[in-house]
Chains A and B, each alone.
Chain A
C-alpha cells in the first residue's frame, strides 16, 4: 500500500518533469473507480463515461496541485464527484435534491426473512437479476447512493469517503446504513422470489424418502 503510494508519487514527479506518457499508467488502476463514482451521481453510463474522461483530463491539468496529503485515489474521487455534480446541475432534466433533506430519520426496518439461502454470484449472468440490482441502487436517494457505491463497490474506507465528500465519518456511516437497509428491503423479497429455494427442495426430497 505504502509502496504503491511511493510509486505514484514518483510517477507524478516524473510526469510533472516531462514524462507525460506515464499519466496513462498512473490512472490505469482507477479507470473503473472513476466511472463508478460518476455513475453514482449521474446514473447513466454514457454521461458517466463523459464525466470520467473529463475528470481524468482535469486531474492531468491539475496534477501540479496534488500534494500527496490525501491518497491520489481520494483526490481523483473528489475531482470526479465535482465534475459529475456540475454536469448534473447543468442538465435540466434532473432535479437535484437538497443535500440535507435525505438525512432525516425515517423508518429503516429491514425486510424480515426467516432464513436466507446465499445467492451465488454466478446468478448475475442472468441479465434481469443484474438489472434489478442496478435499478435498486439507482433508485436510492443521491447522497445514499454515492456513499453506498464508494464503499460497497469501490471499497473505499469510511474515512476516505468522508474526506472525498467533505463530510464527517459519522454521516457517512449513517448514510451507508440507510442505503444498505433500503436495498435489503427492496431486493431481499425480489431475490428470494426469483431464485427458488433449493433447501426446501432437498428437504422435500428428504421427507419423501
Chain B
C-alpha cells in the first residue's frame, strides 16, 4: 500500500490514537520516513494536542472547587439521594 500525502492526512488522527490497522500503520510510517511535510504536520497536530491537554488551557475558575462543595454540602443537608436526576 503506497500513499500520497493527501491520503495520509485522514489517518493522522487515528494514527495518533493508535486506532489504525497494522497494515495502515506500516504504510503511514513508510510514507512519514521520506516525507518531511507529513512528518511536520503530524508533529504539529501532536504538539497542539499536548498544549491543549495542559491545565493552563481552560483553567478552573478561582474558588470553583470550594463553591462546588459548598453547594453540594447544602444539598446533602437537605435531602437523601433519590432515583431520578430530575
Contacts and interface: CB of A to CB of B under 8 A. Distances in A.
B68 A191 contact: no
A111 B44 contact: yes
Interface of B is mostly: helix
B40 A124 contact: no
A62 B58 contact: no
Interface residues of A, number: 61
B48 A153 contact: no
Interface stretch (A2-10, A92-100, A176-184, A197-205): A176-184
Interface string B70-82: 0111011001111
B81 A53 contact: no
A112 B41 contact: yes
Contacts of B72: 23-24, 27, 53, 56-57, 60
Contacts of B83: 62, 64-65
Nearest to A131: B57
A118 B53 contact: no
Contacts of B65: 31
B76 to A, nearest CB: 4
Which 7 A-B pairs give the minimum distances between C-beta atoms? A62-B85, A64-B83, A177-B13, A116-B43, A63-B81, A58-B85, A116-B40
Interface of B: 9-10, 12-14, 16-17, 19, 36-37, 39-41, 43-45, 47-54, 56-58, 60-61, 64-65, 67-69, 71-73, 75-76, 79-86
30 contacts: A15-B81, A20-B80, A31-B64, A31-B68, A35-B58, A53-B68, A56-B68, A56-B72, A58-B86, A61-B81, A61-B82, A62-B83, A63-B81, A64-B84, A65-B84, A110-B41, A113-B44, A116-B43, A116-B44, A121-B51, A121-B54, A121-B56, A124-B54, A153-B57, A176-B13, A180-B12, A180-B45, A181-B13, A183-B52, A188-B44
